[in-house]
Amino acid sequence: MIVHPIDYRYGTDEMKSIWSEDSKIRRMILVEIALLKALAKKGYLSREEVEKAEKAALKVTPERVKEIEAEIKHDVMALVKAISEEVEKVSREAARWIHFGATSNDIIDTATATQLRDSVDILEKKLSELAKLLIEKAEKYKKTVCLGRTHGQAALPTTYGFRFALWAAEIARHIERLRELKPRLLVGQMSGAVGTQAAFGEDGIDIEREVMRELGLKPAIISSQIIPRDHYCEYLSFLSNLSATLEKIATNIRILQRAEVSELMESFGEKQVGSSTMPHKRNPIDCENICGLARVVRGFDEPQRESSILWEERDLTNSSTERITLVESTVLADHILTKLIGVVKKLIVDEERARENLEKLGGINMSEAIMIALTKKGMSRQEAHEIVRKAAMKAYSGKSFYEALLEEERISKLLSENEIKILLNPENYLGTVEKKIEEVENYVIRIVSQ
């Protein structure tokens, strides 16, 4: 019986395949094989015996592991027994060294590190794709002037290119963060019951290094029975931070798709249905999906932090939590990242509507431009602010802002009618918009090309 929506509704096949039960078991088998290879290099058994064991171990099925686990109630020991069954058929010598010197979490945590490695590779590629898409939009719409809004109210003009550049820079910073945490996150261990590698004696450090080299990982600098969970906390914190950015972008697209704004629009399929009762609806369903699931991703951050608080060398309180936190946060973060890539690829920017919404204000949002010009003409900044504020309040009462400005003698004495008209033109008050966009373009290109 399928219960969880990840099984049938959310998540990409490539990410879910990494975190599937079959994948986990296969990766744990590979860790056991890597341990045999490391032991062979230290003379515990021959390379020929390891080769036989490797072929046999790869025949182990998840079904057989589950059968044994149902009897003995221990997942890793069930795996060890299943591997031993197959290996004994071809080499009793190799079978006796399976899991030698290892504890359960040597296998579990190291296998998890391979899952995390493959997951962050996918996330990094998709973040780079999203950053490039946003930069393309920034370049395309760098001259598309629109109304800026603060507190949901009319503010100075900006451009859609500037908005896209702002989002692109944020995504690029997440790429940097992901790369920075990789060396701390992608570590495994082969350290034994309490981390001392006692069973391996003086060979412990060499064996651990060889196992990690075989698997493409680095050894944790030190661990107890398990890898310290601050490694995972940092990863969950990254996903939480990323999800906030993805939700921020999706939320702003939703806001700008509202009927009274209608400057941005998710693409809408020819046969797509927006409502079961209102045939006209075109809802921003993908962005809403992103916003909802981003909150779920952030919800895993705190349980993972709690899972780092363990008794002495470890207890088992982290185990059940991490079967959920690591898997679901990764799958859902990848899901919403993939969704947003799709949204941005097909995003509709209505430039005419953006212009209409800007002109509808009659220039009242250009109040700062008037205030700055008056200050430059000799008026104090504070006096200019008050005079322009009063004119704006008149404009809210029905008079045009242009007329309200001309009626104020202290303004008309310093600014001509033509100067005021020029100051009320949004295109004339964009500051360093294009330079900032260019800076972001260069930054993003540098990051994604590394």
Rounded to an integer, what distance in angstroms lies between the CA atom of residue 444 and that of residue 146? 24
Is the pLDDT at 53 greater than 80? The verdict is yes
- Judged against a pLDDT cut of 80, whether residue 62 lies above it is answered with yes
Residue 106 pLDDT greater than 90, yes or no: yes
Residue 323: predicted pLDDT: 92
Q: Catalytic residue numbers?
A: 151, 275
Least confident of 76-85, 125-134, 270-279, 308-317: 270-279
Mean pLDDT, the chain, rounded, equals 95
pLDDT exceeds cutoff 90 at 49: yes
H or E element in which residue 78 lies: helix 75-88
Instruction: Examine the pLDDT at 2 and tell me if it is beyond 90.
Output: no
How many Cα atoms sit within 13 Å of 245 on the Cβ side? 22
Q: What is the pTM of this model?
A: 0.94
For the chain, the structural domain boundaries read 14-95, 104-357, 363-423
**Can you name the residues that pair with 264 across neighbouring β-strands?**
349
Query: ∠ CA 187-40-65 to the nearest 5 degrees?
Result: 65
The C-alpha atoms of residue 175 and residue 352 are separated, in whole angstroms, by: 34
Q: Where are the beta strands (DSSP E) in 86-216?
A: 145-150, 153-159, 187-188
Q: What's domain 104-357's superfamily in CATH?
A: Fumarase/aspartase (Central domain) (1.20.200.10)
pLDDT of residue 337: 98
pLDDT exceeds 90 at position 99: yes
Q: Evaluate whether 443 touches 388 at the Cβ level (below 8 Å).
A: no
The yes-or-no verdict on residue 281 having pLDDT over 80 is: no
Burial classification of residue 235, based on how many CB atoms lie within 10 Å of its CB (0-12 exposed, 13-18 middle, 19 or more buried):
buried
- Mean pLDDT for 304-321 is 90
What is the pLDDT, as a whole number, of residue 274? 76
CB 187 within 8 A of CB 227: yes
Between 204-215 and 21-41, two packed helices, what is the crossing angle to 10 degrees?
Answer: 130
CA distance 52 to 68: 23
The fold for domain 363-423 equals Ribonucleotide Reductase Protein R1; domain 1 (1.10.40)
* Distance, CA of 288 to CA of 295 (rounded, Å): 11
Torsion angle defined by CA atoms of residues 330, 231, 322 and 287, in that order, rounded to the nearest 10 degrees = -20
Q: Please list the helix, strand and coil fractions of the chain in percent, rounded to the nearest 5, in that order.
A: 70, 5, 25
| Residues near 190 by beta carbon (within 8 Å), at least 6 away in sequence | 35, 38, 101, 102, 106, 110, 197, 200, 204, 207, 208, 211, 212, 219
Answer yes or no: is pLDDT of 155 > 80: yes
Q: Are 349 and 144 in contact (CB under 8 A)?
A: yes
**Residue 389, pLDDT score:** 95
On the CB side of 257, how many CA atoms lie within 13 Å of its CA? 21
- The answer on pLDDT for 5 being more than 80 is yes
Res. 143: pLDDT tops 80: yes
pLDDT at 7 over 90: no
Residue 100 pLDDT exceeds 80: yes
CA atoms of 178 and 76, how far apart (whole Å): 30
Distance CA(261)–CA(257), nearest Å, equals: 6
User: 279: pLDDT confidence band, cut at 50, 70 and 90?
Assistant: confident
pLDDT digit string, tens, across residues 231-248: 999 999 999 999 999 999
For the segment 333-349, what is each residue's pLDDT rounded down to a tens digit? 999 999 999 999 999 99
Query: pLDDT value at position 8?
Result: 87
In this prediction, residue 159 carries a pLDDT of 98
* Residue 302, pLDDT score: 94
**Predicted local confidence at residue 208, as pLDDT:** 98
Q: What is the pLDDT of residue 267?
A: 85
Looking at residue 398, what is its pLDDT?
A: 80
Question: What is the pLDDT averaged over residues 126-147?
Answer: 98
pLDDT band at 293 (very low <50, low <70, confident <90, very high): very high
Taking CA atoms, 419 is separated from 283, 370, 371, 428, 431, in Å, by 43, 9, 13, 11, 18
Phi, psi of 260 (to 5 degrees): -80, -10
Same fold: 14-95 with 104-357: no
Across the range 210-222, mean pLDDT stands at 97
For a pLDDT cut of 90, what percent of the chain falls above it?
A: 91
Decide if domain 14-95 falls under CATH 3.40.50.300: no
**Residues 163-178 as b or e (16 or more Cβ within 10 Å = b):** bbbbbbbbbbbbbebb
pLDDT band at 371 (very low <50, low <70, confident <90, very high): very high
